[in-house]
Structure 1
Amino acid sequence: MTRSTKVLAAAALALGLTQAPVKADVSMGIAEARQIAAASLAQGQPQLAAQIATGLLQRDPSDAYAHFVLARAFQQMRQPKLARRQAALAYRYADTGLGRYQASQLAATLAVESAQPGMAQIWLRRSWNHAPDDRAREVLKRDYRVLRALNPWNVQLRLSMAPSDNVNNGAEDPYAVIAGVPWVGVLSGDAMALSGLKMTGDLSLGYRFTQTDRSQTRVKGRLYLSRVALSADARAQAPAAENSDFAYTKAELGLEHRRSLGKEAGLLSAELTLSRQWYGGQPLQNSLRIEGARVVPLAPGKQVQLSLAAERSQPERGAPVTEMDLRASVSAKLSGGGTFSYGASLQMADSLYVNARRQRATGFVAWGLPRPIGPAKVSLSLGGTVADYPDYRVGPFVVPGGRQDHMLFGSADFVFENLDYAGFVPSLKVQAQKTRSNVSRFETNEFSVSLGIVSRF
């Protein structure tokens, strides 16, 4: 008797289907054994299903279906650790997309049953790669949102690389000119615009330690890194400059509380954040920021967000700076499927250091197109900033009437949703910025194209 026939015989005897030796060919024995295993699970007989699956695995350790049956059997027998291991093996050995989809869905369910929502999220992302249709993907998105709400941990990582013609925010003109001052200087090579590659990494980590039906409180951490690789032209322009001279790092630790005020009243939040910044490998400043925000629904799909923040910064060298920041924005979902938003902000800073005193106003509009253009989902933004430094000085010179900067900026974002892996898709951002100032050192132009990865859900 072959091994597969022995599997079928054991199953049949256990079910009381036969009292005589079983005669069957190999392929039929395996197929019928699988059917009996599935029936055993449906009838609440996980021990028998586990026995049959074990026999099938003795014949072929890479039998994905047998691993799947064994995972389901251990699930019914309340042995989640063993069940998760078998579900992972079923996913590993499955040779069809549907098999991998079913195995990853089972693994996600087992993770939820074991109170491991983070692991369940990972398995749902694996399911995304093998979902049979759009309806299944919509269910995955819904389930992922539920798990995100259940998981006390929240992790976000953003990476991008951007070829830029101005990685150091340098001046476009080699001459230092101050309007109204009969003096002209010459800027060093590293004070002018340098081309190269700008790379950024932004890691945010949060942990929710209290939650009720209407509120939640969490601790948050963030690490932001910006690094550059100077081009050959930039090195020729500024031979003494090193990539590390333009490295920027910011680390944050914060506490956030959110409270729902009801469906019509919206959301209220408050946040306290400590941060430390470095530039060029050297400490730059420490800051303490307190912010309150309110989100108010205006209509279905439309809301306004208001925020007020106060920040106190202590540079490594120089006097502390106190800044107030007021922001307002409106966002709406359009009937055709697109989005539209606009907003404004006002910042005011005061300090004993005269060059830190400033007022700045910014406005923007943004539009998410309702339909893709070619393979990409597209969103556009445009805005401007006006800044006034009333007491600005350049060396021994007082800038007549203070320093005034006028900036225009715009960007186009392209998200390629058809090129996804585990729900992550590539993105491309084209952005341009132009600043005009009565102090020529701050007249800058920048154009960059950045590549990144974003999540679809």
Structure 2
Amino acid sequence: MRLNLIWPLLFAATTVHAQPSLNDLQKRAEAALVADRPADTIRLAGDMLDAQPDSFAAFYLMALAQADSNDLQAAAQTGRRAYQVAKTEENRFLAARFVGGVRFQAGQYTRSELWLRRAANHTQTEAELASVANAFATANQANPLSLRFSGYVAPTDNINDGSDDGVLRLEGIDTTFVLPEDRRSLSGVAFAASTELRYRIAQSPNQSTTLVGTISGETYILSSEAEDLLASSPNPDVRAVDGSDFATVTASVGVVRQQNNISPLGPVRAGLALGTYWEGGERLVDFGDLTLEQIVPIDPNSTFRLRALVREQIARKPTLLDSTLYDVVGSYERTRGNQDQLQLNFGTRRVSAGPENSYDEYEVGVGYGLAQPVFGVQLYTSLQLGYRNYEEFVTTLDGREDQFISADATATFQDVSYFGFSPSITVSSSRTVSTAEENTTSAVQVLFGVTSNF
């Protein structure tokens, strides 16, 4: 079995000049490999290693010959040794790219992806990076297991979605109360991470079934200003509040089924998930989700998606209410002629949770991403506008209305890459204006994270 994608690069490997006999062994080993005599190449490469134990050329030639002999496990191990002794970026790329290819042929797709990300660290040209990205996409598609990680650090001026003015006004009795300090906007730094694990248990041209598990969490460190504000409270319970009291964790497990042959419009996905939610170290609610999504490929560059969700939420504390949430979300995605990405979306939500906790919400948004980097920076921006209505609310006489807006801009520094990931910065701002003034809030935050390049 010939690894054609690797062999043309062989002659870029380091030629050893220490001894003429070593040069002769290398030439003979290369000739045997070209003549499809892998056993001779392995023997000659072994002689080279006897003469020079850290010879990249010897390990690389031996790995190629082992792959040609269909001994993929040995080829991968020898390729790893070649990577370890390589002295140049070019040779490190050759070895890592080779091991990624061998692991793929052996059906070890996760290992293949890891080695391809390692190869991305040593690319010298756009062509090399493109070859790694294409190979990674092929391995990722073949791999029944996929793992996605994300994380960020975000300084923010409102970690708790607290009130701007810190007061509560009761309509009809002309009375104003000062809100507790922990319900006012508190500044600090957010630390967040999330993981999604998918395992495809069945696949055919007409369907796929995937198990999905997710867990995400966020915790905070309060700023000195927020700590001073809490310390000024006359309530000892409020004075004891720290950033971990606002920490959240969400976990869920579920199954997603995609069927490609039941709708003339395109693929249909259905999902079922069970999950739970913690806040401040307390488990507050359990939930069950049922989703249905229609995917409509309009043309090779445009796709429309319509997704509906029903969530039943069961409170685990007597102070909370059970609720039912209904979501309908539509999105239109288009790749323009210049490869810029355009996204339009709309959504509507209905939450039923008792007279003063039920509301309707409507939202529209637009996102735009530039295909061409600006000074090595990939840019994406988005804007969301929304409206929320409560028919009844505890502090008002005629319900509550919220108008909200959010905007963000993300810069990904593609010139800086490690394992195929590049650092990113997102600046986001949000503002909610409510007729129940204690719920008028605003927040600005800067998120430092990482983004995969492929």
Q: Same fold (TM over 0.5)?
A: yes
Matched, 1:420 2:417: yes
- Alignment deviations for residues 151-196 of structure 1 (CA, whole Å, 9 cap, x no partner): 0001000010000000111111121124555121101111101111
Distance (Å, rounded) in 2 between the aligned partners of 1:391 and 1:66: 78
Superposed displacement of residue 199, structure 1: 1.0
Aligned equivalent of 1:313 = 313
Distance (Å, rounded) in 2 between the aligned partners of 1:417 and 1:405: 39
Distance 1:263 1:56, change over 3 A: farther
Aligned equivalent of 2:77 = 85
Distance 1:446 1:297, change over 3 A: same
Aligned equivalent of 1:190 = 182
Within a 5 Å distance, the mapping from 1:349-364 to structure 2 comes to 349-351=351-353, 353-364=354-365
Matched, 1:136 2:137: no
- Alignment deviations for residues 318-368 of structure 1 (CA, whole Å, 9 cap, x no partner): 3321111111111111112211111110101113x3232110111111111
Distance (Å, rounded) in 1 between the aligned partners of 2:58 and 2:174: 86
Distance 1:115 1:244, change over 3 A: same
Superposed displacement of residue 261, structure 1: 4.2
Aligned equivalent of 1:292 = 292
Distance (Å, rounded) in 2 between the aligned partners of 1:242 and 1:186: 20
Larger radius of gyration: 1
DSSP 3-state at the match of 2:312: strand
Matched, 1:410 2:402: no
Letter in 1 for 2:407: G
Distance (Å, rounded) in 1 between the aligned partners of 2:263 and 2:25: 54
Distance 1:349 1:373, change over 3 A: same
Within a 5 Å distance, the mapping from 1:63-74 to structure 2 comes to 63-74=55-66
Distance 1:79 1:449, change over 3 A: same
Superposed displacement of residue 381, structure 1: 0.7
Aligned equivalent of 1:251 = 251
Superposed displacement of residue 285, structure 1: 0.3
DSSP 3-state at the match of 2:416: coil
Letter in 2 for 1:408: I
Within a 5 Å distance, the mapping from 1:202-217 to structure 2 comes to 202-217=194-209
Distance (Å, rounded) in 1 between the aligned partners of 2:87 and 2:425: 34
Aligned equivalent of 1:225 = 217
Distance 1:273 1:181, change over 3 A: farther
Moved more, 170-179 or 379-388: 170-179
Distance (Å, rounded) in 2 between the aligned partners of 1:164 and 1:174: 18
Aligned equivalent of 2:107 = 115
Question: Is there any run of 5+ residues in structure 1 with no aligned partner, and where?
Answer: 1-24
- Among residues 426, 437, 440, which one is paired with 2:437 in the alignment? 440
Moved more, 283-292 or 64-73: 64-73
Distance (Å, rounded) in 2 between the aligned partners of 1:286 and 1:81: 46
- Alignment deviations for residues 249-296 of structure 1 (CA, whole Å, 9 cap, x no partner): 000101001123499833211111111000000011000010001111
Aligned residues: percent identity?
22
Within a 5 Å distance, the mapping from 1:1-150 to structure 2 comes to 27-150=19-142
> Is the 1:179–1:438 contact (alpha carbons within 8 Å) kept by the matching residues of 2?
no
- Among residues 193, 199, 203, which one is paired with 2:191 in the alignment? 199
Letter in 2 for 1:320: D
Superposed displacement of residue 216, structure 1: 0.7
Aligned equivalent of 1:329 = 331
Aligned equivalent of 1:385 = 386
DSSP 3-state at the match of 1:400: coil
> Is the 2:22–2:51 contact (alpha carbons within 8 Å) kept by the matching residues of 1?
no
Aligned equivalent of 1:3 = none
Distance (Å, rounded) in 1 between the aligned partners of 2:382 and 2:166: 31
> Is the 1:179–1:439 contact (alpha carbons within 8 Å) kept by the matching residues of 2?
no
TM-score of the superposition, structure 2-length normalised? 0.91
- Alignment deviations for residues 379-401 of structure 1 (CA, whole Å, 9 cap, x no partner): 1111111111112214xxxx211
Matched, 1:454 2:436: no
Moved more, 147-156 or 127-136: 127-136
Question: Is there any run of 5+ residues in structure 2 with no aligned partner, and where?
Answer: 1-16, 232-238
DSSP 3-state at the match of 1:348: strand
Aligned equivalent of 1:20 = none
Aligned equivalent of 1:172 = 164
Aligned equivalent of 1:19 = none
Distance (Å, rounded) in 2 between the aligned partners of 1:137 and 1:197: 35
Distance 1:72 1:373, change over 3 A: closer
Distance (Å, rounded) in 1 between the aligned partners of 2:316 and 2:355: 16
DSSP 3-state at the match of 1:90: helix
DSSP 3-state at the match of 2:84: helix
> Is the 1:202–1:225 contact (alpha carbons within 8 Å) kept by the matching residues of 2?
yes
Distance 1:93 1:181, change over 3 A: farther
- Alignment deviations for residues 198-239 of structure 1 (CA, whole Å, 9 cap, x no partner): 111010001001000121101000000011010111100112
Superposed displacement of residue 129, structure 1: 2.0
Distance (Å, rounded) in 2 between the aligned partners of 1:365 and 1:57: 60
Distance (Å, rounded) in 2 between the aligned partners of 1:439 and 1:145: 50
DSSP 3-state at the match of 2:19: helix
Aligned equivalent of 1:157 = 149
Aligned equivalent of 1:280 = 280
DSSP 3-state at the match of 1:359: strand
Letter in 1 for 2:418: Y
Matched, 1:238 2:230: yes
State the 4+ residue runs in structure 1 displaced beyond 6 angstroms. none
Aligned equivalent of 1:5 = none
Superposed displacement of residue 370, structure 1: 4.0
